[in-house]
Amino acid sequence: MTDHALLSVLERIADSLERMSPPPPSADILHRHDAFLWQAALGVLTPVEKVSGVPLSLLQGVKRQMDQVMTNTRHFAEGFSANNVMLWGARGMGKSSLVKASVAAVNEEQRAKGGGTLALIEIQRDELSSLPKLLAVLRTTKRRCILFCDDLSFESQDADYKSLKSVLDGGIGGRPENVLIYATSNRRHLMPRDMIENETGSAINPSEAIEEKVSLSDRFGLWIGLYGATQDDYLAIVEAYAAYYRLPVPRDELRRKALQWAMARGSRSGRVASQFISDLSAELGIPQG
């Protein structure tokens, strides 16, 4: 094969590879949708047309926490300074629902008065190492964005927390002004107790050994706890769902069935209430939607 022919083949291969490779990440899509999934492997933001969640009115028993999240989110949307948010606590108490509902409610307020809306971008915990790549994209836009990481926690030998820590610390290459981070976790310190104890027992200086990992949660300006539902809270959630879906069940019967459902599950929470309502709706032949 002549040099000219070889060069021609190499050029065709290069052209083919260029066509196969994904386009470089662009922030233009951020102005066409309100919610996205970050796909780190492809380096793209995938729009989410309908966000899975519930309206704020269905989140009962968490008014104080709701007010804090709403106020912080509203300040951010209006162009003021705001804090990164960590929601931690009992399973099924609506931590992720509160984040999604708050952003949706604030965006509705902003549209009503002609203000700028927020983009909600979900990033998976195991893709935190790609945060610098995502932030490089978000630096090219003026739209304010909330990065949402659900069920955040770290195990032993897990170094992904360093990527998040560098962003929260606000260093030279840290978080841009148009980005906040909202995260949820079942763990107060984002790591299991036995991991903390192991770090303490094997280190020369125990307090220094665990400081970097345990203090990660302290780098969130708002650190909000959601606790297990009382019976009254649980029943309030059930009644709110029943009213929302217009279920024709007498109040006393609704409460009795709801308590039986909770006893069978051994738990009271917003998630258990939602599951009860789904079952009751199907029993009554009333579709949810």
Name which residue leads in pLDDT, 72 or 288. Answer: 72
Considering the chain, what is the average pLDDT of its residues? Answer: 83
- Checking if the pLDDT of 154 tops 60, the result is yes
Cα 223 → chain centroid? 14
Most confident stretch, 132-141, 178-187, 253-262: 253-262
Question: Exposed, middle or buried by CB within 10 Å (0-12, 13-18, 19+), for 30?
Answer: buried
Neighbour-count burial for 33-48, b at 16+ CB within 10 Å, e otherwise: ebbbebebeebbbeee
Task: Decide the pairing of beta strands 119-122 and 35-39.
Answer: parallel
The amino acid at 255: R
Spatial distance between the Cα atoms of 121 and 146, rounded to a whole number of angstroms:
6
What would the mean pLDDT of 121-134 be, rounded to a whole number?
89
CA distance 234 to 260: 12
Q: Are 38 and 137 in contact (CB under 8 A)?
A: no
pLDDT band, residue 187 (cuts 50/70/90) = confident
pLDDT at 5: 64
Query: Alpha helix (H) ranges present in the chain?
Result: 3-20, 63-77, 95-112, 131-138, 161-168, 193-202, 206-214, 231-244, 251-265, 270-284
Q: Which residue has the higher pLDDT, 9 or 232?
A: 232
| Backbone dihedral angles phi then psi of residue 170, each to the nearest 5 degrees | 70, 40
What one-letter code names the amino acid at 188?
R
At residue 241 the predicted structure's pLDDT band, cuts being 50, 70 and 90, is very high
Q: What is the CATH number of domain 28-226?
A: 3.40.50.300
Stretch 239-263: mean pLDDT, rounded? 95
The confidence score (pLDDT) of residue 17 equals 55
Question: Higher-confidence residue: 229 or 48?
Answer: 48
Q: How does pLDDT run across 9-62, given as a tens digit for each residue?
A: 666 665 665 555 555 555 678 888 999 999 988 889 999 989 988 899 888 888
